[in-house]
A and B are shown apart, each in its own frame.
Chain A
Amino acid sequence: MSTDDAATDDVAPEDVTGAEAPDEADATSEESVGDDDAPLLSVEDLQVHYKPGNLIERYLSDRTIRAVDGVDFELEENDMIVLVGESGCGKTTLGKAAVGLEQPTDGTVEYKGQDIWDSKNNPRNADIEWGEIRRAMQVIHQDPANALNSSRRVRSILADPLKKYRTELGAEERKETIYRYLEYVDMMPPEDYADRYPHQLSGGEKQRITLGRALLMNPDVILADEAISALDVSLRVGMMDLILDLQEMFKTSYIFISHDLANARYLAKQSGGRIAVMYLGRIVEIGPPDEIIHNPSHPYTEVLRWSTPTIDPDIAKEQMSEEPPVRRIDVPDPEDPPSGCNFHPRCQYAREACTAEDPELFDAGGSESACFRALPNHEYWDSPELTDEDESEPVQAGFSDD
């Protein structure tokens, strides 16, 4: 049977914890008093808007950056969703807001049916405590060198989550747990590694420590923010495989952020998850990787697909002479989104109807796509084409890279 941990006890009194067979597939016995059917994580109409500039500018001007501009998605247990997009599309902000590291300006984030900010601000009315929520949602950052405190040893870094959430363990037991994790991720001898400072570890090893720090919390959701981008290319597959193995073992869900469509495909396919394409603060297409990559519905997804190089040299050579499927190469200003569909100024299929209305995510067959072209009966098909503006005029400078 599972251990009964007083520190995280959120089992409602009437719940039965003793009758589960050990090999039941869905063995979560911690149902809260709230919604039994609620998805693990649910984000609804999430908005994160910033006012840029200093104190006075913020006060006087109307300028807002809409980093996340109305996003909905749901994450189940043992699920994987990979957010892809260019810089400035809001994927990092969305990820952080979804795991409670950033407060949204509007919209809700619900963990098993419990609004997480409600839980933090009104603890007395909460079904699930903020402490439990905080434990359940963890993060792995892009640059492991920054994500580890350079003045602390591995041993003490990995002890943090245990000290906080497994208070029943004594010092010896904590050490043992840490050693076992290090052994599992091939950092042998574990005692030697535990004594090291971060600078004595290679990039891949550092990243395994940040992964361990998150996993030792036993979270339900991990946000992996470009977690493999800082590693050598030949090591990335290894890291992704490790993440997938551990997911298989602990049934953790992942929100993975990637700017690289090829890696996104690897992760999503191997885990049976989805890819969500983001543009200017919104999800423009979401679906299984095969659909997104081989049968894209949204024009922007086509652009990303085109931008991702293929290794086959013959195909690559052919592609060199292809024009990009966009009307403008430069990313526009996130402060000043265009009317109607966000993407229409750059879209090669844009028509007048696209300037009038803002598309939602429509069912496009295998995936969902925020484009009127997914609807066979929409007025888009009768609408005249947009007169092409001057091609060479670049849109105003976007903000510099993330």
Chain B
Amino acid sequence: MSNKEPKRDGGVTQERIFGTGEESGPTRRSPAEQARRAVDFYVRTPLAIAWSDWRTRIGGIGIVVYLLMATVGVMFYPEPTLNEVDYFVAPFQTMEAPLGSDHLGRDVLAMMIHGTPEMLKIVLAGFTFAVGLGILAGMVSGYKGGVLDTAVMTLADVFIVLPGLPLIIVLVAIFSPQDPFVIGVVLSINRWPGLARELRSQVLALRSEDFVEAARAIGLSSPTIIGQELLPMVGPYTLIRGTQQAVGVIGAAVGLYFLGILPYNGQNWGVMLQNAYSQAGAIQTPSRAFLFIFPVIALGGMTFSFIMFSQGLDRVFNPRLRARNEGGSREEEGDDGEGGGLF
């Protein structure tokens, strides 16, 4: 506030409206009530909305199942070891290997459970890298424009144009990554530019909106405007596209393991597929098809869960739904505007 004298106007002065730092007035809410509302807004309502959409519900359950597999399952279910059972035991025969065993006598279920953490890490890394870089590059260059925009977008175009698969193969051949996080990053190296371009075009449309101009008038810095004003508007879109990219990364990883390009590093679903194909002849031999099918189910299930979950997530971001579901707030779809509208 400036150093002006407080202006007087009967009882209501500028000081009074702007506050002199006094504590709450007569009828404010109690802290308990405030806490209750905070929980309602940030926890209960989003969960309720998420649950109300069947996609999020199914996807959410699926994700939780996988998370449990990767944590609790890994802790309690023994790791697969060679020769713990006979070779090629059929599924649903014995409790020692409920889903059968592979060419080295390893329990298929154990391999599935213990392969989960690695897959989840790859997904996480892929998602974070693609989305993070996409947001950074796309939104900043879209908002700022000028030379920065041209430079970043040219870089993005280079990555878009480079053939994805050969690029990844070369990178993998050079770096031989073992760590699933690194694998996730490498595999999403050609995915961030698409997202960057999409976010950039959204930002280009948004930045001439009145509320952005008002934010500039207030003097908010560019990072603040991007993060506070623009990001929530592109949030749902980003999440959905990001999840699609992450899921693409899984597919790529599995494919590369299957092809043997990614180094063999113990059990994971992709390697399981590779073995099923090359060692067990699962494609030709119907009795061994299960060695193929179970990893595929695991992969398909994970992909499906993530995609479903993200599809339903945009409802959580929708302010109209948030408002409608919050306890005790009035639904006012009022619009005093002239023109347009139903009536």
A and B touch in the complex (CB under 8 A): yes
Q: Which chain A residues have a beta carbon within 8 Å of chain B's beta carbons?
A: 1-5, 8-9, 11, 17, 20, 22-24, 27-30, 99, 101, 131, 134-135, 137-139, 141-143, 145-152, 160-161, 164-166, 168-170, 172-174, 176-177, 179-181, 184, 189, 191-192, 195-205, 210, 213-214, 216-218, 229-232, 235, 248-251
Residue B211, interface by CB 8 Å:
yes
Give the A-B contact count at a CB cut-off of 8 A. 188
Residue B315, interface by CB 8 Å:
no
Q: Are B319 and A151 in contact (CB under 8 A)?
A: yes
Q: Are B25 and A235 in contact (CB under 8 A)?
A: no
Measured CA separation A220–B220 after assembly (Å): 18
Residues of B within 8 Å of A229, CB to CB, are 338
Q: Are B216 and A101 in contact (CB under 8 A)?
A: yes
Interface of B is mostly: loop
Which residue from A191, A213, A231 sits with its C-beta under 8 Å from B214? A213
Q: A3-B1, A201-B332, A232-B336 are in contact. Are A101 and B213 (CB under 8 A)?
A: yes
Q: Are A176 and B217 in contact (CB under 8 A)?
A: no
Measured CA separation A151–B318 after assembly (Å): 7
Residues of A within 8 Å of B20, CB to CB, are 3
Q: List 26 A-B contacts (CB under 8 A).
A: A1-B5, A2-B5, A3-B20, A4-B3, A5-B3, A17-B3, A101-B217, A146-B209, A146-B211, A147-B210, A150-B233, A165-B1, A179-B25, A180-B25, A184-B12, A189-B27, A192-B329, A195-B37, A198-B319, A201-B334, A203-B335, A214-B217, A231-B336, A235-B336, A249-B9, A249-B14
Within 8 A of A (CB), among B290-339: 317, 319-320, 322-323, 326, 329-338
Q: Are A248 and B218 in contact (CB under 8 A)?
A: no
Give 18 A-B pairs besides A143-B210, A200-B329, A203-B336 with Cβ atoms closer than 8 angstroms. A2-B5, A27-B4, A27-B5, A30-B4, A101-B216, A134-B217, A145-B335, A149-B233, A166-B18, A168-B21, A173-B22, A176-B24, A180-B18, A203-B337, A205-B334, A218-B18, A230-B336, A230-B337
Q: For A212, give the chain B residue with the smallest CB separation.
A: B17
Q: Are A179 and B21 in contact (CB under 8 A)?
A: no
Residues of A within 8 Å of B25, CB to CB, are 176, 179-180
Q: Are B337 and A20 in contact (CB under 8 A)?
A: no
Residues of B within 8 Å of A17, CB to CB, are 3
Q: A141-B210, A176-B19, A195-B329 are in contact. Are A202 and B336 (CB under 8 A)?
A: yes
Q: Which chain B residues have a beta carbon within 8 Å of chain A's beta carbons?
A: 1-9, 12-14, 16-25, 27-29, 37, 41, 209-211, 213-220, 228-229, 232-233, 235, 317, 319-320, 322-323, 326, 329-338
Q: Are B209 and A181 in contact (CB under 8 A)?
A: no
Q: Are B211 and A148 in contact (CB under 8 A)?
A: yes
Measured CA separation A256–B6 after assembly (Å): 25
Residue from B12, B213, B235 with most neighbouring chain A CB atoms (10 Å): B213
Q: Are A149 and B211 in contact (CB under 8 A)?
A: yes
Ranked nearest first, the 7 interchain pairs of A and B with the lowest CB-CB distance are A203-B336, A27-B5, A177-B19, A202-B334, A151-B232, A141-B210, A134-B219
Measured CA separation A200–B7 after assembly (Å): 33
Q: Are A248 and B232 in contact (CB under 8 A)?
A: no
Nearest Cβ in chain B — how far from A120, in angstroms? 11
Measured CA separation A229–B217 after assembly (Å): 21
Q: For A174, give the chain B residue with the smallest CB separation.
A: B19
Measured CA separation A177–B18 after assembly (Å): 5
Measured CA separation A196–B320 after assembly (Å): 10
Measured CA separation A106–B137 after assembly (Å): 34
Measured CA separation A199–B319 after assembly (Å): 8
Residues of B within 8 Å of A174, CB to CB, are 19
Measured CA separation A204–B218 after assembly (Å): 22
Residues of B within 8 Å of A250, CB to CB, are 7, 14
Which residue from B1, B235, B320, B338 sits with its C-beta under 8 Å from A199? B320
